[in-house]
A and B are shown apart, each in its own frame.
Chain A
Amino acid sequence: MIVSILSPKGGCGKSTSALTLATVFANNPDLSVAIVDADPRQSIARVWYGKRKEEGLQDPKFTVISDSSDDTILDTLEAAGAAHDLIFVDLEGVAGLMASYAASASDLCVIPMRPSALDGDAAGSALKMIRDAGRAARRDVPARILITQTDAAIITKSHKELLAELDGAGVGRLQTELMRRAPFERVMAEGKTLFELTTNKSVASAISNTARLGQELADILEDQ
């Protein structure tokens, strides 16, 4: 199954979501998991994976595939879909054709957004694009908003307003939010997975947060 993680807004946590979700699913030894890095910046395939190589770490439990070309992304996704049970597609934070292609081939699209008006606007565009890309491909492509980088201690007023607006408009969203936690930044900086970070309470919380998100995602995919 293919899960595209997309938003035309940069910095909302697409790569972090893809990386941490792939990590928790790949923790299941029976599941073959891959990330397709379709962002020309190659945050996962070049930066994160390069850091891993630099540090002499073993290959992760999931496969990392690099393709950032509009011309070949559909072939890559088709091949990845045949070879793996679950694929997360990490897309560039721009309003690109690539996002439409990936959405049309996905079984689920996840739109990360921070609880801010600008991210909300970008998420709205993404939702409409996914709906219409699915129609163009004669498929129903479900989408869910993922609220990211939220404060673990306090829900702000704008956060509450955003949730109320999403729920009021009947927009599907994941109930689990990805909190703002230092370990999510450390995985990128150190080229490690959450499970490879030095264990402390913060890392345990980040793992737990991602596992809960993964479980919710698994339930949605299994029910389809």
Chain B
Amino acid sequence: MVGKFLNLDDDTPKPDASIGAGLKRKPKPQRGRADTKAVAAAGEAHGFTRATQPQPPRAKKPKLEPDQPRRGRPPLNEAMTYWRIYVAPDLRDELNAIRDKEGKRLNDVLRDMLAVYKSQKR
């Protein structure tokens, strides 16, 4: 492959079902247990210092009760689009109060408003 501009020749050999057959015949290597401190020091000399421990399983987030107000990003199974808007501070406080008391998000309030608007237009 070295020295060739094009290396398109990687699809000629077929997979060999006997690959590694020689390994089966080889006796298993006998290794003495290494001195872990010496090995660690050898790695540390080259910056291999980070310790690794298994990560604890992630705690499941408690499911929100249906009557709890929902905040933040919507669940992934809801088709929602991110839309940044500017509102007056007092209006935002009022909308937040509706969300907390009634569980209605801005999306729900806008939907209600749109329905009213459409009904009045008829």
Q: Cβ of B49 and Cβ of A132 under 8 Å apart?
A: no
The CA of A74 and the CA of B36, in the complex, are separated in Å by: 9
Interface size on A, residues (CB 8 A): 70
The answer to whether B23 has its CB under 8 Å from any CB of chain A is yes
A77 to chain B, nearest CB (A): 9
A165 to chain B, nearest CB (A): 13
Q: Cβ of B53 and Cβ of A69 under 8 Å apart?
A: yes
Main secondary structure of the interface of B (DSSP, over half): loop
Give the nearest-CB partner of B33 in chain A. Answer: A74
Q: List 23 interface pairs A-B (beta carbons < 8 Å), by A numbering.
A: A8-B47, A8-B48, A25-B19, A28-B21, A30-B24, A31-B24, A78-B31, A95-B49, A104-B42, A105-B31, A105-B34, A129-B43, A137-B34, A139-B31, A152-B8, A153-B7, A204-B11, A207-B15, A208-B10, A208-B14, A211-B13, A212-B13, A215-B16
Mark B residues whose CB is within 8 Å of A: 1-2, 4-8, 10-24, 26, 28-29, 31-36, 38-55
Q: A96-B52, A218-B19 are known; give 19 further A-B pairs, CB within 8 A.
A: A25-B19, A28-B20, A31-B20, A31-B21, A69-B54, A81-B31, A85-B23, A95-B46, A96-B49, A97-B50, A104-B34, A107-B29, A136-B35, A136-B42, A137-B38, A155-B6, A209-B10, A221-B20, A221-B26
Mark A residues whose CB is within 8 Å of B: 1, 8, 24-25, 27-31, 38, 40, 67-71, 74, 78, 81-82, 85-86, 92, 94-101, 103-105, 107, 125, 128-129, 132-133, 135-139, 150, 152-155, 163, 167, 175-177, 179, 201, 204-205, 207-212, 214-215, 218, 221-222
